[in-house]
Chains A and B, each alone.
Chain A
Amino acid sequence: GESVGLHLPTLSVQEGDNSIINCAYSNSASDYFIWYKQESGKGPQFIIDIRSNMDKRQGQRVTVLLNKTVKHLSLQIAATQPGDSAVYFCAENQSGFFDMRFGAGTRLTVKP
């Protein structure tokens, strides 16, 4: 079946470095993608989204890149801080459908 998946289950970076979290998806009809951050004991929190008519979108310290050719999504976090330590999920959705499919998540650990 089609699925959303992440390449790495864990990522450890030094404080101040840039982080890159990757995600692969297989439904070519998906046209909306979200990155969520989930801290311990909390629900997923929206970080940034991107629609399929774009290949890059920037937020505050975060950038999402979408490569539809290879069905790849990435989240870049600039100047990673200890507060960025969490599990990060990518999710995909096809407009007209309710269900949003999530990857398993990557745990980001920021070392001081």
Chain B
Amino acid sequence: ETGVTQTPRHLVMGMTNKKSLKCEQHLGHNAMYWYKQSAKKPLELMFVYSLEERVENNSVPSRFSPECPNSSHLFLHLHTLQPEDSALYLCASGQGISSYNEQFFGPGTRLTVL
């Protein structure tokens, strides 16, 4: 257990569905991240929140919408996804740029878009 939990662990959705991924960290960190992991590709950073404010958005399509209501919770809202969005979505937390940026990962949500 890394102190970062994600739900659901698996999600299958149609292209017209709306769903949300949830991440919670119990480590007292002040930064949270969403990554996308596709087969045979490096981890791709999607969003970064520091102190509940979005500080980075790596040209992610608007069909992905993040939300960070507090420093312990992070959501990724999904709507009108495409089959190529099927991947493992990983959440991570860390202390942010105030220190060397070790990040702790959750187990991920395996998303399949039909």
A interface list, Cβ under 8 A from B: 4, 32, 34, 36, 41-46, 49, 51, 89, 93, 95-105
Contact = CB atoms under 8 A, between A and B. Distances in A.
Given A43-B2, A44-B90, A45-B2, A100 B97 contact: no
B90 A105 contact: no
A4 B31 CA distance: 23
B48 A44 contact: no
A102 B43 contact: yes
B21 to A, nearest CB: 13
B42 to A, nearest CB: 5
B42 A43 contact: no
A90 to B, nearest CB: 10
A96 B50 CA distance: 13
B55 interface: yes
Nearest to B97: A96
A97 B99 CA distance: 10
Contacts of B33: 98
Interface in B18-75: 31, 33, 40-43, 45, 48, 50, 55-56, 58
B64 to A, nearest CB: 17
Nearest to B6: A43
B92 to A, nearest CB: 8
A49 B107 CA distance: 20
Nearest to B106: A43
B56 A51 contact: no
Interface in B59-107: 90, 92, 96-97, 100-107
B42 A104 contact: yes
Nearest to A5: B42
A67 to B, nearest CB: 19
Contact of B97 (A46, A95, A103, A105): A95
B72 to A, nearest CB: 17
A72 B46 CA distance: 26
A43 B90 CA distance: 7
